[in-house]
Structure 1
């Protein structure tokens, strides 16, 4: 009789369905940007290395929409610009009247670098030399335009001082190549495909910022950070160029399970080479970058990981 009972029990075990994996949604951006491949790469890492979870990268309208998805619980993780995350947390700017106090960060993953490009034979050597020139400041309402305007205004330059053109990345590169404009701004994770393509056909120069210009920008926008574009990033770029950047942050809801937040943070850093293979922007995904650049408090699960690796966690990042 005991043998029969065991056989029945074994049969029940063999036919019982496996527990369904918990679904995780990662809010990213459009397919042509950096958010989508970074989010997709992290989703694949989760699927391959975090048992019990199935992650998917979702195409979205990027930062502002992504914060709403986190607030409503319609996404589990999201990539957002640092200023958007800060506005959501404080209830300012686009989030006035709808503060998202339960915003928490796992990490800052990479920066959008403000890149000011002109042709190598141009007489533009600095921000001040934009006066009287034709300059693309980015597509209307884009992060590039917001960042360019903030940088310029912080340094006493307005749109009245030059002829602004509101062009997207590819249009800006084409216009510089064809001589229709004198210079253009990009704010995106480097290296940038449209600049790479431009540098492959024309000799270009990236305009660096002085320490004073960077300090002025940071005073105007606290989320700006100094950033160095490495020599050799683009054809003909023989020296490093100093500029500013704005971090992109991986955020979650404060209600996320602490163990899950810990495991996600640990996985991000332990498998970072896998993410770099997807997009080189992930080269900037470091513990140090997170400590220096994250604008909102860290999730307790993330803090647990950072304490394990002996990171110096600023008080402002502790909720």
Structure 2
């Protein structure tokens, strides 16, 4: 992206990452934004946001971090290693409650904006013979990159479908979407899970590959079971036919909202500046990726955010006319 000051590193939750602390970053007007893998939607949206903030806030230098996804992002936020994250709501709820991957280490995460819907996509090709979740038994699958919300959501879907993630697959890899697409092309993988906005480049790449017939596995029937156990952060949606090359039928799947989030201790003045820049650039942001078209005033609700608002963001949205 032209003019974008960008520092990209692979960030694992427990790895050593040389980033400034939040307090130091704020003093220097430096801001690291944790995104996701390069084959997803968080990365281009985060890159564009870093560009807007760098040019829109005097003295600001915003950079993006390539990570495994939501879980890694929130762990980095909890450790004060980044100042802002893009994350799924389900991972944020786990983080603030200290559940699952955040057990014993709750994160003081606060929402500043609700973005768009993330779609669970169970991806395969016709030659594998996979047409349903049950057909995944005995196959080689990838459940997403380590530290990703894809992995969390995939495990919940696998459980709801009556499969054992440790026993029912011939192999279970933990690959990024781009790596998964390449593995399917090479005949080393049968299917993969990926949660993102649509369309996403890795799946588009697979569908456009010569000699490949893309198949998207329906799984909406398992949503009620998942909601019963994990709460109402998930909902059924449909990815329209022809969203991807070769996708001839609609894909009935499970979705979750995405938010932009910060720590509760980010200064109100900085949050207000960020909100002003983000909101004023929303039309340009939607041209970077179509998922950002869903960044609307009507979408700013507490139910969608899942976690408490940062007070400055709450004030901003109410001033814009949001009911929250």
Give TM-score, length-normalised by structure 1.
Answer: 0.76
User: Match for residue 317 of structure 1?
Assistant: none
RMSD: 3.0
- In the superposition, relative to structure 1, how do residues 57 and 98 fare at CA in structure 2: closer, same or farther (>3 Å)? same
Computing the radius of gyration over CA atoms, which structure comes out larger, 1 or 2? Answer: 1
Q: What's the CA shift for 1:167?
A: 5.0
Q: What's the CA shift for 1:141?
A: 5.9
Give unpaired runs (5+ residues) of structure 1.
Answer: 1-20, 314-319
Equivalent residue in structure 1 for 2:83, among 55, 76, 92:
76
User: Match for residue 108 of structure 1?
Assistant: 114
Task: Say if 2:78 and 2:106, in contact at 8 Å, map to a contact too.
Answer: no
Q: Does the residue aligned with 1:273 lie in a helix, a strand or coil?
A: helix
- In the superposition, relative to structure 1, how do residues 157 and 75 fare at CA in structure 2: closer, same or farther (>3 Å)? closer
Give distance in 1, aligned partners of 2:286 and 2:61: 18
User: Match for residue 223 of structure 2?
Assistant: 214
Q: What's the CA shift for 1:71?
A: 4.3
Task: Say if 2:33 and 2:84, in contact at 8 Å, map to a contact too.
Answer: yes
User: Match for residue 45 of structure 1?
Assistant: 52
Equivalent residue in structure 1 for 2:195, among 187, 192, 195:
187
Give unpaired runs (5+ residues) of structure 2.
Answer: 1-26
Give TM-score, length-normalised by structure 2.
Answer: 0.75
Give distance in 1, aligned partners of 2:28 and 2:146: 39
Number of equivalent positions: 290
Worse-superposed segment, 291-300 or 255-264: 255-264
Q: What's the CA shift for 1:140?
A: 5.4
Equivalent residue in structure 2 for 1:163, among 155, 158, 170:
170
Worse-superposed segment, 254-263 or 34-43: 254-263
Q: Does the residue aligned with 2:60 lie in a helix, a strand or coil?
A: strand
Counting only pairs closer than 5 Å after superposition, residues 83-162 of structure 1 correspond to structure 2 as: 83-100=90-107, 102-120=108-126, 123-139=129-145, 142-159=148-165, 160-162=167-169
Q: Which has the higher helix share?
A: 1
Give distance in 2, aligned partners of 1:31 and 1:156: 29
Equivalent residue in structure 2 for 1:305, among 286, 308, 316:
316
- In the superposition, relative to structure 1, how do residues 162 and 65 fare at CA in structure 2: closer, same or farther (>3 Å)? closer
Worse-superposed segment, 29-38 or 244-253: 29-38
Q: What's the CA shift for 1:250?
A: 1.3
